[in-house]
A and B are shown apart, each in its own frame.
Chain A
Amino acid sequence: MTTAPTLDQTTLPPSSHEFAEVIHRLEAGGSMLPDTPENLMQIIGIYKAYAVPMDFYWRDLLYIGERVFLNPLPAFKYFISKDYLERHNTYSGDKSPLRIWRGRGEVHPELEEFMATGELGMKLPKLIHHLWHDRVNMEFAEACMRAMFWHRDINPRFNDYLYCEAYLEECDRAIRAYFKRNPLMLGLYKLFPDMFIEQARQASYYANLGLFWEVMAPVFFEMSDIYDEGGFKSVPDAMDFLVNGIFAVAGRPIYHHVYVGDECFELIPKSAGFTWLYEAALPYVEAVFYRTSPFRGTKSYNAQAGQVPADQKDFHYGILYADVFPVGSAGIPPTLLMQDMLHFLPPYLVEYYRQHCRSDDDTLIQLGITFQRSMYNVTSAVIQALRTALLYPLDDSNPEHLKANREFFEAQMDRLTRSEARLRDIQRQSYR
């Protein structure tokens, strides 16, 4: 059952867009994802399964950006330090200076347990778990970071800062301090300074994504807790919680501090004025949900045949377009995430997947499609947040304002009309 389009409070004629039903739903305060109890159960369950590895991703991204920095042989970058593993969340937990979410600030207990025993279920030395690839797949987090780094046109202010004099000077100080006992690297720095600076820019994107996900992990945990308590009654309830979350932390500073010993180098100081919404969340959604890049084995790279767009802005390999079955091949980023989420599924979702398709044999694909549904809901929250911030209330009495809202929603849906987009598929429950 899908929500019936509601146009009661509008004075506009029905949209003639291909996705008119979805547009009318958005105009009624709904989500791109139909409002059904099954969809609600799926997306909340997967948010919880996503939040647990995300609790590792953000900590390790900040550890790499701030501490590993330019290590030329970062073999142990996934061996997060105790300080960063125990780092208290800024917006969640008793010791949070700016508490917004009610959950804990310390690392999630399910993550702690998994890090100790892995899939093997045995407490072995960390190195054994690592080499056996029995661990959290940080490669997924790094792939998201690289997507943001590569699609740099979507974050112009942040990117411009990475080329400004203040950044270059602080980078130079940080690099000299970092390699002060390594004459070989200092010599290479003298010969190829740009190569080192470019690595520092990448580290700045590690910090950017780490600060972004530090916020999202407690949001998803709280959504799961509220659902378990019977708090969310509909998909729009869940979307509204995300919209409020986006606004609550919109002004969070995005910065990049590098620590060499006890000395802190502010490559991007908080005073630069970069914000969570503009320099992290919106670029993340564009880079990861919409664009990314083709994964090996899932797309022809024959650029001469026009099989890959000439312009980066036309890339369409994100989760909103993904065909989860081939994307579910081994070793590529979305599969790594699916594998991570598999470890932390709530019992009701495990049971749900057992009842469908190939039961336990294709859980990864089923949960991948659930994840796709859940990200359509997150994207809906972003669309509604942008509408709130830049346009007009849904019950505005001025028809011109409603028309502007309509044009905005239609423009957003235009991006999902291409054949690869899964918006059509997620309208039906049988898409699994």
Chain B
Amino acid sequence: MSTIVDIAVSNEDFNTLVTAVKVADLVEALQSPGPFTVFAPVDAAFAKLPPNTVNNLVQNPPQLARILKFHVASGIWKKADLASVDSLDSLEGSSIPIRVKDDLFEVKNATVIASDIEASNGIIHVIDTVILMG
């Protein structure tokens, strides 16, 4: 089975995310056995950020890495598992609010547009908005 990074690289909706992960030097970490739960923003999510936000982050890899780590949690958390929790601790350190109820699946202010994509080292939920700490 493919790793989280392999799945992201093979999907044309994750070009910005893949570039960001490479710049932030997180490829190796996300290729490791983990397991991880990744909330992966699509390209359109990055495009929604105001001008220059992504450019400036790309020029500052440690700061970019911090934002990206906020999209990752330890362990495998499928949608069904997340129904019983209010939040997950991200690798960045801050907690990520989660809301799962019937058809609703929201991660902070993002909506999950594809869930439970299985990888060899974790699981991916695709989100429509870049989530930020705070």
Q: Is the CB of B62 within 8 A of A273?
A: yes
Q: Is the CB of A388 within 8 A of B62?
A: no
Question: CB within 8 Å of B: which of A249-273?
Answer: 249-253, 270-273
Q: Is the CB of B53 within 8 A of A253?
A: no
Question: CB within 8 Å of B: which of A341-365?
Answer: none
The contact of A271 among B49, B53, B59, B62, by CB within 8 Å, is B62
Q: Is the CB of A244 within 8 A of B50?
A: yes
Q: Is the CB of A390 within 8 A of B56?
A: no
**Is B51 an interface position by the 8 A CB rule?**
yes
In the complex formed, the residue of A with least CB distance to B130 is A389
Q: Is the CB of B62 within 8 A of A270?
A: yes
Q: Is the CB of B50 within 8 A of A248?
A: yes
Q: Is the CB of A253 within 8 A of B63?
A: yes
In the complex formed, the residue of B with least CB distance to A401 is B109
**When chains A and B are docked, how far (Å) is the Cα of A126 from the Cα of B133?**
46
Contacts of B52 in A (CB 8 A): 100, 244, 247-249
The contact of A253 among B51, B60, B67, B134, by CB within 8 Å, is B60
Contacts of A243 in B (CB 8 A): 50
**Is A275 an interface position by the 8 A CB rule?**
yes
**Is A226 an interface position by the 8 A CB rule?**
no
**When chains A and B are docked, how far (Å) is the Cα of A98 from the Cα of B63?**
15
**Is A295 an interface position by the 8 A CB rule?**
no
Q: Is the CB of A251 within 8 A of B67?
A: yes
Question: CB within 8 Å of A: which of B91-134?
Answer: 93, 108-109, 132-134
**When chains A and B are docked, how far (Å) is the Cα of A272 from the Cα of B56?**
17
Question: CB within 8 Å of B: which of A2-37?
Answer: none
**When chains A and B are docked, how far (Å) is the Cα of A263 from the Cα of B2?**
47
**Is A315 an interface position by the 8 A CB rule?**
no
In the complex formed, the residue of A with least CB distance to B52 is A248
User: B62-95 interface mask toward A, CB cutoff 8 Å, 1 = contact, 0 = none?
Assistant: 1111110000000000000000000000000100
**Is A278 an interface position by the 8 A CB rule?**
yes
Q: Is the CB of A252 within 8 A of B60?
A: yes
**Is A189 an interface position by the 8 A CB rule?**
no
**Is A285 an interface position by the 8 A CB rule?**
no
**Is A386 an interface position by the 8 A CB rule?**
yes
Interface residues on A, range: 20 to 34
Asked, given contacts A249-B56, A252-B56, whether A272 binds B62 with beta carbons under 8 Å apart, the answer is yes
Q: Is the CB of A247 within 8 A of B60?
A: no
In the complex formed, the residue of B with least CB distance to A386 is B134
Asked, given contacts A389-B134, A391-B109, A392-B109, whether A248 binds B53 with beta carbons under 8 Å apart, the answer is yes
| Interface SS majority for chain B | loop
Max chain B Cβ within 10 angstroms of own Cβ: one of A272, A389, A390: A389
Contacts of A251 in B (CB 8 A): 53, 56-57, 60, 63-64, 67
Q: Is the CB of B134 within 8 A of A278?
A: yes
Contacts of B132 in A (CB 8 A): 389-390
Give B55 Cβ to nearest chain A Cβ, in Å: 8
Contacts of A392 in B (CB 8 A): 109
**When chains A and B are docked, how far (Å) is the Cα of A117 from the Cα of B93?**
51
Q: Is the CB of B108 within 8 A of A390?
A: yes
**When chains A and B are docked, how far (Å) is the Cα of A157 from the Cα of B93?**
10
Asked, given contacts A98-B56, A253-B60, A392-B109, whether A273 binds B66 with beta carbons under 8 Å apart, the answer is yes
Contacts of A391 in B (CB 8 A): 109
Asked, given contacts A253-B60, A270-B60, A273-B65, whether A248 binds B133 with beta carbons under 8 Å apart, the answer is no
Question: CB within 8 Å of A: which of B34-68?
Answer: 49-53, 56-57, 59-60, 62-67
**When chains A and B are docked, how far (Å) is the Cα of A386 from the Cα of B109?**
12
Max chain A Cβ within 10 angstroms of own Cβ: one of B53, B65, B67, B108: B53
Q: Is the CB of B56 within 8 A of A100?
A: yes
**When chains A and B are docked, how far (Å) is the Cα of A273 from the Cα of B60?**
9
**When chains A and B are docked, how far (Å) is the Cα of A251 from the Cα of B56?**
6
Max chain B Cβ within 10 angstroms of own Cβ: one of A98, A100, A251, A253: A251
Contacts of A390 in B (CB 8 A): 108-109, 132, 134
**When chains A and B are docked, how far (Å) is the Cα of A391 from the Cα of B134?**
10
Q: Is the CB of B51 within 8 A of A248?
A: yes
Question: CB within 8 Å of B: which of A149-197?
Answer: 157
Give A316 Cβ to nearest chain B Cβ, in Å: 22
Q: Is the CB of B63 within 8 A of A247?
A: no
Contacts of B62 in A (CB 8 A): 253, 270-273
26 A-B pairs within 8 Å (CB atoms) are namely A100-B52, A100-B56, A243-B50, A247-B49, A247-B51, A249-B52, A250-B53, A250-B56, A251-B53, A251-B60, A251-B63, A251-B64, A251-B67, A252-B60, A253-B63, A270-B60, A270-B62, A272-B62, A273-B62, A278-B133, A282-B134, A388-B50, A390-B108, A390-B109, A391-B109, A401-B109
Smallest CB-CB A-B distances: 8 pairs? A248-B52, A247-B50, A251-B57, A251-B63, A273-B66, A247-B53, A273-B62, A389-B132
Interface residues of A (CB under 8 A from B): 98, 100, 157, 243-244, 247-253, 270-275, 278, 282, 386, 388-392, 401
